[in-house]
C-alpha cells in the first residue's frame, strides 16, 4: 500500500528555487509512486527563459492536463507543419487556469513570470518523447536558435 503524500508550500518554494538554479531553468516533482504508474502526476516549475521544443504525445492515451499553480504560462498550439493555430494564457487565479491537450496535438508551454508552476497529469507509464513527437520545424532545446524562437513565441503573449 502506498503512503499518503501531502504537498506543502515549503515543498513548492523549494521546487521553484531548484528550477531557478537548474541549468535548464525548470524542475519537476513527481507525486506518482513510480514511472510505471498508470497516471503520471507532477508539479513542473519553470522560469521565463526555459525552452521546451514544441512536441506532441502520439500515444492516444496521453491526453495532458496542466493546471496553473503559481505565476503565468502561455501555451502555443501548432499544426503538423509548425504553424501557430491557437494560444492560451494561463494564470494562477486568472480567467484561464487549466488546459487539457488532446494526444497528437503539437504544443509548447512558455513560463511568462518568474516562479511559475503547473500541476500536470497524463497517462503513464512515463515514456521519453520519440523523434516523431518533436516538432522538427522548431529548434531543439539547447541549440543556438532556441532563444530567438522562444522570444518569437513569447511575443504572441505581449500586450
Tell me if 64 is assigned to some domain: yes
Tell me if 2 is assigned to some domain: no
Tell me if 3 is assigned to some domain: no
Tell me if 4 is assigned to some domain: no
Q: Distances from the Cα of 50 to the Cαs of 28, 34, 53, 99, 142, in angstroms?
A: 13, 26, 10, 20, 10
The range of the structural domain enclosing residue 62 comes to 9-128+139-157
The CA-to-CA distance between both ends of the chain, in Å, stands at: 50
Tell me if 118 is assigned to some domain: yes
DSSP assignment, residue 133? G
Query: What size, in residues, is the chain?
Result: 159
Say if residues 140 and 53 touch (Cβ distance below 8 Å).
Answer: yes
- Helix and strand numbers (H, E) in the chain are 2, 8
Of 77, 2, 7, residue with least CA distance to 38 = 2
30: CATH: 2.60.120.10
pLDDT at position 15: 98
Q: How far is the C-alpha of 41 from the C-alpha of 151, rounded, in Å? A: 29
Say if residues 65 and 141 touch (Cβ distance below 8 Å).
Answer: no
Structural domains counted in the chain: 1
Is the pTM value of this prediction over 0.85? Answer: yes
Q: Residue 127: what are its φ and ψ, rounded to 5°?
A: -140, 125
Tell me if 44 is assigned to some domain: yes
The one-digit pLDDT tens for each residue of the chain (159 residues) are 889 999 999 999 999 999 999 999 999 999 999 888 999 999 999 999 999 999 999 999 999 999 999 999 999 999 999 999 999 999 999 999 999 999 999 999 999 999 999 999 999 998 899 999 999 999 999 999 999 999 999 999 986
pLDDT at position 159: 62
Tell me if 134 is assigned to some domain: no
Tell me if 25 is assigned to some domain: yes
Amino acid at each position: 500500500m502506498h503512503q499518503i503524500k501531502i504537498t506543502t508550500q515549503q515543498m513548492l518554494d523549494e521546487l521553484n528555487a531548484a528550477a531557478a538554479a537548474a541549468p535548464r531553468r525548470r524542475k519537476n516533482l513527481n507525486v506518482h509512486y513510480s514511472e510505471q504508474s498508470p497516471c503520471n502526476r507532477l508539479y513542473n516549475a519553470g522560469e521565463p527563459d526555459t525552452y521546451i521544443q514544441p512536441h506532441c504525445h502520439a500515444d492516444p492515451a496521453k491526453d495532458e492536463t496542466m493546471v496553473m499553480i503559481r505565476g503565468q504560462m502561455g501555451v502555443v498550439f501548432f499544426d503538423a507543419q509548425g504553424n501557430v493555430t491557437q494560444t492560451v494564457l494561463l494564470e494562477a487565479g486568472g480567467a484561464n487556469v487549466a488546459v487539457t491537450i488532446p494526444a497528437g496535438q503539437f504544443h509548447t508551454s512558455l513560463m511568462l513570470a518568474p516562479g511559475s508552476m503547473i500541476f500536470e497529469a497524463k497517462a503513464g507509464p512515463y515514456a521519453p518523447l520519440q523523434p516523431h513527437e518533436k516538432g522538427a520545424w522548431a529548434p531543439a532545446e539547447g541549440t543556438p536558435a532556441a532563444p530567438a524562437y522562444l522570444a518569437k513565441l513569447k511575443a504572441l503573449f505581449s500586450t
